Amino acid sequence: MASEQLELSAERRAYLAARRRSARFVVLMRYVVLLAFIGLWELAAQLSWIDPFITSSPSRVAATIGRLMQGGQLFLHIGTTLFETVAGFLLGTLLGVVIAALLWWSPTLCRILDPYLVVLNALPKIALGPILIVWIGSGMGSIIVMAVLISLVVTIVTVLTGFLDITGEKQLLMKTLGATKLQIFTLVVLPAAVPTMMAALKISVGMSWVGVIVGEYLVSKSGLGYLIVYGGQVFKLDLVMASIVVLCLLAAGMYYAVAALEKKLTR
């Protein structure tokens, strides 16, 4: 019996070691792919396989970012876009979860509003941009509202689906034990829907960035979206590419922050 336990323990250790090697290999290959892409991009620009004026190059992008940092402009634009995105993300997520909870609470209301949610989800939110500018004004408020609108409906639909997918057996058991509907929601439905809610957060991160950049395209005097539009208008494509690179880094950082929160909650 003891030898079997030792044998199983050895197999377990071998299995865990293989998984660690696999994880390290995946991380290594991610960096290899990224470095290969950057190197090929730079090589193609240096050898004139591509026009560096149109496609820029990693060295030119780095030089542009350096100039923006020295002038103090980069952090101003990053701060503006980041604040708008985080505000839109938090508001959209909070409102989405609350509305999804209300729709779960009232099945009749859910059936009534279901077609409207489908229409709102299919509606291109950018079409509301001019209306928001007139209603709210050409400022940060309209950009945040645009981010909320783009992420809100997706969050509602995703979270509501998670709430409705919770098995009815546990809810029936809670009712048998005399639990109220609020207790059923807080003790059964909400904890069981955490994975779905975290998936909705990951989707909402990307949608919030889309909403903010679209809003800055329409009306903004600062932010990464403004830099992209300005760089395109004056044919400073190095500025456009530099803004896109910074935008990718910020979006990835925010996504991995949500992923870290998911891992912590899952534990």
Say whether 53 sits in a helix, a strand or coil: helix
10-residue stretch averages of pLDDT, the chain, 267 residues long: 54 81 90 93 89 86 89 87 91 91 89 87 79 81 87 88 76 76 81 84 87 84 86 86 91 88 77
What confidence score (pLDDT) does residue 6 get? 47
- pLDDT tens profile 183-217: 888 888 888 888 888 888 888 888 888 888 888 88
What confidence score (pLDDT) does residue 167 get? 64
* DSSP secondary structure, 186-214, as one string: IIIIHHHTHHHHHHHHHHHHHHHHHHHHH
Give the tokens for residue 216.
């800055």
Give the tokens for residue 66.
């350096």
